[in-house]
């Protein structure tokens, strides 16, 4: 089983976090290409309000003119992960596992399943049943109940030679109003939720990060 080094980047601009994970990604790819031992990294952070859209995303899923985003203090990035448009911001744990999947004996589909399982196991700490929804990557609550399906964690990954970057966005105390600016992950018929929204009160963010890190270490080694 592979191991990883964990680093909490705290609250950080999206561009700075992207640079950090890209450097780690490039270093791990270089190590793999030269047959040397690379370092798997797991970064947790919070972002200032930002929308990101994946390489297959549709601009129509941004519901306000792009020019208005700057007026509202929201950044906007086109990036090279899978998936459509999503929001990152305060009160959300955004995670970037930069992993060589070969060291974990995982394929890409298994890796995404494992990411989902990590979040599902995390939610059990709070008495919440997280589930998968076929054809819709991420972790959902009541995904099969008509009119009730809501996503609590979005997942979007880039992989090259089985080295990964980008990752997941788990809503803890996230201001869900920002999601009204978009069709989250391209969906128009499903909602978005957060841990605090489900439990009816703000949650201890530092405790949530610590618990999620523990589950990652059980699932992936650390």
CA distance 80 to 77: 10
Nearest to 98 by CA among 36, 51, 160, 154: 160
Residue (of 216, 163, 149) closest to 31 by Cα position: 163
Residue 210, exposed/middle/buried by CB under 10 A (0-12, 13-18, 19+)? exposed
Which is it for the CA torsion 182, 186, 190, 192, positive or negative? negative
Joined together, the tokens standing for residue 154 give 């979005």
DSSP letter at 154 equals E
- E-strand ranges in 147-186 read 150-160, 163-171
Question: Is residue 185 among the annotated active site residues?
Answer: yes
The encoded tokens of residue 22 equal: 């890209």
Q: Which of 28, 149, 185, 195 is catalytic?
A: 185
Size (the chain), residues? 222
SS3 content of the chain, % helix, strand, coil (to 5): 35, 30, 35
To which residue do tokens 């099969």 refer? 144
Residue numbers annotated as active site: 185
């Amino acid at each position: 089983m592979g191991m990883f080094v964990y680093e909490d980047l705290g609250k950080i601009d999206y561009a700075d976090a992207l640079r950090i994970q890209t450097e780690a990604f490039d270093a791990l790819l270089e190590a793999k290409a030269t047959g040397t031992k690379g370092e798997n990294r797991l970064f947790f952070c919070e972002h200032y309000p930002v929308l990101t859209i994946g390489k297959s995303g549709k601009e129509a899923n941004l519901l306000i003119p792009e020019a208005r985003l700057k007026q509202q203090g929201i950044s906007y990035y086109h990036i090279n992960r899978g998936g459509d448009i999503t929001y990152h911001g305060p009160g959300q744990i955004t995670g970037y596992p930069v992993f060589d999947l070969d060291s974990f004996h995982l394929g890409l589909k298994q890796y995404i399943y494992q990411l989902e399982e990590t979040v599902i196991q995390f939610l059990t700490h709070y008495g919440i049943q997280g589930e998968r929804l076929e054809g819709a990557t991420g972790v959902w609550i009541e995904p099969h109940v008509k009119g009730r399906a809501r996503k609590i964690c979005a997942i979007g990954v880039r992989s090259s030679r089985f080295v990964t970057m980008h990752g997941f966005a788990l809503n803890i105390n996230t201001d869900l109003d920002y999601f009204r600016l978009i069709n989250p992950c391209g969906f128009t018929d499903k909602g978005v939720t957060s841990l605090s929204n489900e439990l009816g009160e703000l949650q201890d963010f530092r405790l949530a990060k610590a618990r999620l890190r523990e589950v990652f270490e059980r699932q992936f080694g650390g």
